[in-house]
Amino acid sequence: MLSRLVFLPASALKSSGSLGAGLVQAGRCLHTSPQTQAPVPPLPEKSGKVRHGFIPEEFFQFLYPKTGVTGPYVLGTGLTLYMLSKEIYVINHETFAALSVGAVLIYAVKKFGPGIAAFADKLNDEKAAKVQEVKDVAVKSLTQAIDDEKKEQWRVEGRNMLFDAKRNNVAMLLETNYRERLHMVTNEVKKRLDYQIQLQNLHQRLEREHMVDWVEKNVVKSITPQQEKESIAKCIADLKVLAKNTQAKASL
Amino acid sequence: MISVPLSEKKLLDVKLSQLPAWAGTRDFTPNGILSAIRRGHDRYFNKYINVKKGGIGGIAMLLTGYVVLSYIWEYDHIKHDRWRKYH
């Protein structure tokens, strides 16, 4: 029979992938190829249903269409009776050991099962909460970073206005400085021109006075004593005439 | 209903008459057997054990299978404890 297996088609050989060293205890396939970028699906909430602790529910569903609800139980009873009667299952000392152990196990599971399940769930929840907290902290810090970044961008816009205001200030300073210097220049030039005017005035006055003094001096010099006596006599004569005139006018 | 080639049908969909033909299409190389064991293990593990709230069924079924298998292996020895010789 094995000789037939030698002539298997090549496609069947291709489908059998090579296993890694030892059986890796991984439940879901690891993302080894770069194409699977989808997020890993979450764990299922409950396991497959199992009735009476060790018979899968699918068996009951499989027999339900043909035999109804009691089918599997009748099958179980029939099989047990067959195995007992034909002694395929032999009742010996191990049977009683198995029954005692089974009883104790069932009692223990029924009594402590829910407690242990709750404890395990609590452990799992704590683990999940810790990881979730790490993720939440990371997300929060990142959103905070985003908000800070947006605020900085908003501040930069404000900085433009600040620069405009500063530019205006500087322009105004320059303007005032220029006007001050303009004033200073005009003042200085005016002072210089005034000085020149005063200088000219002074010159003219000095010349005039000098000339007047010189003319007076020459005139005084030219008046000889003879002329002085004559002029004085004339003046006296004039005065007498004048006095006579006024006396005459006053008596009139 | 689109027709699926025999080699790709699942075991429960194969008719009884096609069973030998179907078995012929299966891969019985060591690699094939190991990968089949791996697939079976993954299916069982992901259905009954790798869940958030697993029950007793996951390990109970394994223990029951172990008990049954060990009984079958020891049957030749247990035969001697039979109560009657003829059944």
Tens digit of each residue's pLDDT (9 = 90 or more) over A198-230: 999 999 999 999 999 999 998 888 877 777 888
Domain span at A175: 121-229
Residue A101 lies in a domain: no
B64–chain A Cβ distance below 8 A for any pair? yes
What ipTM, to 2 d.p.? Answer: 0.78
- Residues 2-41, chain B: which have Cβ within 8 Å of A? 7, 24-29, 31-32, 34-35, 38, 41
Residue A37 lies in a domain: no
Residue A196 lies in a domain: yes
**Interchain CB contacts (distance < 8 Å): A and B:** 104
Mean pLDDT on B51-58:
84
Residue A174 lies in a domain: yes
State the Cα–Cα distance between residues A60 and A51, nearest whole angstrom.
9
Q: DSSP labels for A224-244?
A: -HHHHHHHHHHHHHHHHHHHH
How far separated are the first and last CA of chain B, in Å rounded? 50
Cβ count within 10 A of residue A50: 19
Cα angle value B39/B43/B48 (rounded, 5°): 150
**A90 Cα to chain B: minimum distance (Å):** 6
pLDDT for position A14: 44
Residue A63 lies in a domain: no
Residue A16 lies in a domain: no
Q: Say yes or no for a CB contact (<8 Å) between A90 and B78.
A: yes
Looking at the partner chain, which of B7, B25, B57 has a beta carbon nearest the beta carbon of A50?
B57
Residue A77 lies in a domain: no
A86–chain B Cβ distance below 8 A for any pair? yes
CA distances from B30 to A13, A18, B33, B46, B70 (A): 10, 10, 5, 24, 25
- Residues 122-161, chain A: which have Cβ within 8 Å of B? 124
- State how many domains chain A has: 1
Q: pLDDT by residue for chain A (252 residues), tens digit each?
A: 444 444 444 444 444 444 444 444 455 666 666 666 777 888 888 888 888 888 888 889 988 998 999 999 999 999 999 999 999 999 999 999 999 999 999 999 999 989 999 998 899 899 999 999 999 999 999 999 999 999 998 988 888 888 999 999 999 999 999 999 999 999 999 999 999 999 999 999 999 999 999 999 988 888 777 778 888 999 999 999 999 999 998 887
Residue A138 lies in a domain: yes
Q: Say yes or no for a CB contact (<8 Å) between B61 and A50.
A: yes
Q: Say yes or no for a CB contact (<8 Å) between A90 and B81.
A: yes
Looking at the partner chain, which of A12, A27, A54 has a beta carbon nearest the beta carbon of B60?
A54
Q: Say yes or no for a CB contact (<8 Å) between B42 and A27.
A: yes
Core vs surface per residue A159-177: b (16+ CB within 10 A) or e? eeeeeeeeeeeeeeeeeee
